[in-house]
Structure 1
Amino acid sequence: MRVGWFDHENRELEEFETFEEPLNEENCEGLDFDVISVFASSEVTDKVLQEIRPEVVVTRSTGFDHIDLNKAEELGIEVYNVPHYGSNTVAEHAFALLLSLSKKIPRAEEKTHSEFSHEGLEGFELKGKKIGIIGTGEIGQKAVKMAKGFEMEVIAYDPYEKKGLEEELGFMYVKIEDLIEKSDIISLHCPLTNENLHLLSEEEFDMMEETVVINTARGGLINPEALLTALKNDSVSYAGLDVLEMEDEMRNLGNISDKEEFCSGEYQANCELIEREDVIVTPHSAFNTKEAKERIFETSIRNIEERPEENRVV
């Protein structure tokens, strides 16, 4: 069995052919593998699948929006993901962003380099705030539990409500419109699909009033231009983002501070978001803990060798 392992990092894998770069249409020509293992930064398009024609695609992530599932199914290619590697890790990161915003940690840390004063650092408590969780899968459920630990009121939306979960975890399912209107804080924990692209856009932000928005899921769930407008008119008071639309293209730019094109054209909204004091952006690093990465590796190897049905997407 020939395995191509893309986005390779610092681990000896003598039995596989490894590539440091992600897989995409520019480097797929002539490749011949039974299995390809990729990360979320790869772009496994219909062209890539038709060129390589693997038996199996294993993504080392929970999300799979970087893989053309329709083409995979058409070609009879099995697709596997890692569904449970980082529910704690990602939910923790969501609350790290939220706490950093609520206590103004970045500004406070920077301020101590010039003066030891709390002037201008007034924050807000989480206790008693209403948090709306969008998506009640593994990560969303962890976020609910953490929110309850902070004595927050929790409401949630999921198009596929899980029977008995409300009573078990102590929250209430509501319509998405009600969640958007009533939440002090909104945290996204859902996959990106064709149906929920720009789930939060102009119409949704107009329904908010000084809301805090947290996104550790996928950048495409939020329209960045609409978020900027909402921040400027105070519909949104703060945003904590671990993901951005077009983040893969941004990664390829290298040092974005030295590139004029980053702050113009298609990247302009992202540039402005990064520069704002009421926004914290991290580089899609919510997953990046020692424990989570080990679970990703172990599950990916199992997906390659055993192809367990519970991890199969297509």
Structure 2
Amino acid sequence: MRVAVIEPLQLPKDFVMKKFQALNCDIVLFDSKPVSQQEVFERCKKADIVVLVNTPLTAETLEKLDGLRMVAVSFTGYDHVDIEKCKEKGIVVSNVPEYSTHSVAELVFGMVIAALRKLIECDKAVRASKGNEGLMGNELFGKTMGVIGTGKIGQKVCELALAFGMEVLAYSRTEKEELIKKGVRYVSLEELLRRSDIISIHVPLNKETKGMIGERELAFLKDGAIVVNAARGAIIDIEALVKELERGRIFACLDVFDVEPPLPEDYKILKVKNTILTPHVGYCTREALERRLDVTIENIKAFLEGKPRNIVNL
């Protein structure tokens, strides 16, 4: 049985190899991300099981992979893999749910505090031998936090917001009784957008959520509102967001975009000032990456034992 890890898992190679050797399979690790679907095919063509993070695996590539039995996505999101083609070919697809709950939620508040307290400007001021003129910030305490999607990460964001003394509004497909008991109020999306000082997005990307925050929704935001997206870039209409940001009315903290970083030099949001941008690092902590690796290997082991788990294309 050959397992091909077709892109780096962001941990030391020796550490990763030692973990995979517990499977007693032929393991092939690649040191770089593939840059084309042809390269993806070349790395996958002899494998029974492919491990990837966020490299796309298209229907055209899958069509040519007759020996492939499993795609182990070492990530929570799996929209970059053609699930329908995998189902058609009988290829099992697994993912790693919940491994980065704390990491993503903590980044959300790191970005928000950096925005409210103007930390980037503060750093620049000190380095330029300046004082604190023009650097008055704002507190989280007493503000209203709007959380779109209360899965594991959204729930953790709600809990942290409550700990900061914030009012918390939520919009989600399903309401969680434990959050309601803690003081979270579920409201309509429009009410959440109109009332919140900070809006944090935590829904998966699918047909229903793609572009769910567009020109109409952004117009509901109050002046000075902060939009945080550490979920999936395409949930926000990036063109509409850029237009709203260029008006100077709102602020955005983005860890994800409608293309995966590195962003093209002409990507419009790079020219907008009232933003904090990070290159999809929400999940990227040592603790989260080690959890992700362990669950990925457990998913493969369970598949080999005929007891597949965390399967997303049943």
Structure 2: segments with no counterpart, 5+ residues: none
Give the TM-score, by structure 2 length. 0.88
Q: Residues 271 and 69 (structure 1 numbering): CA distance in 2 closer, same or farther, change over 3 Å?
A: same
Alpha-carbon displacement from aligned partner over 1:107-152 (angstroms, at most 9, x marks no partner): 1001101124111111111111111101111111110110001100
Aligned equivalent of 1:190, options 180, 195, 203? 203
Q: Which is worse superposed, 88-97 or 283-292?
A: 283-292
SS at 1:247's partner residue? coil
Moved over 4 A (4+): none
Residue 153, structure 1, aligned to residue 182, structure 2? no
How far off is 1:18 after superposition?
A: 1.5
Structure 1: segments with no counterpart, 5+ residues: 254-261
Paired residue total: 294
Aligned equivalent of 1:136, options 125, 146, 150? 150
Alpha-carbon displacement from aligned partner over 1:208-267 (angstroms, at most 9, x marks no partner): 12211011111111122211211232442x11111112125x36x6xxxxxxxx22xxx2
Partner of 2:2: 2
Conserved 8 A contact 2:203-2:209: no
SS at 2:51's partner residue? strand
Structure 1 residues 11-30: aligned runs within 5 Å: 11-12=13-14, 13=17, 15-23=26-34, 24-30=36-42
Aligned equivalent of 1:221, options 211, 230, 235? 235
What is the letter of the counterpart of residue 108 of structure 2? Answer: A
Structure 1 residues 20-169: aligned runs within 5 Å: 20-23=31-34, 24-30=36-42, 31-40=45-54, 42-53=55-66, 54-162=68-176, 164-169=177-182
Partner of 1:304: 300
SS at 2:243's partner residue? helix
Separation (CA, whole Å) in 1 of partners of 2:249 and 2:222: 4
SS at 1:179's partner residue? helix
Separation (CA, whole Å) in 2 of partners of 1:29 and 1:244: 26
Separation (CA, whole Å) in 1 of partners of 2:105 and 2:179: 18
> Taking every aligned residue pair, what percent have the same amino acid on both sides?
34
Separation (CA, whole Å) in 2 of partners of 1:159 and 1:22: 35
Separation (CA, whole Å) in 2 of partners of 1:50 and 1:170: 50
Separation (CA, whole Å) in 2 of partners of 1:161 and 1:77: 33
How far off is 1:281 after superposition?
A: 0.4
Q: CA RMSD in A?
A: 1.8
Residue 292, structure 1, aligned to residue 306, structure 2? no
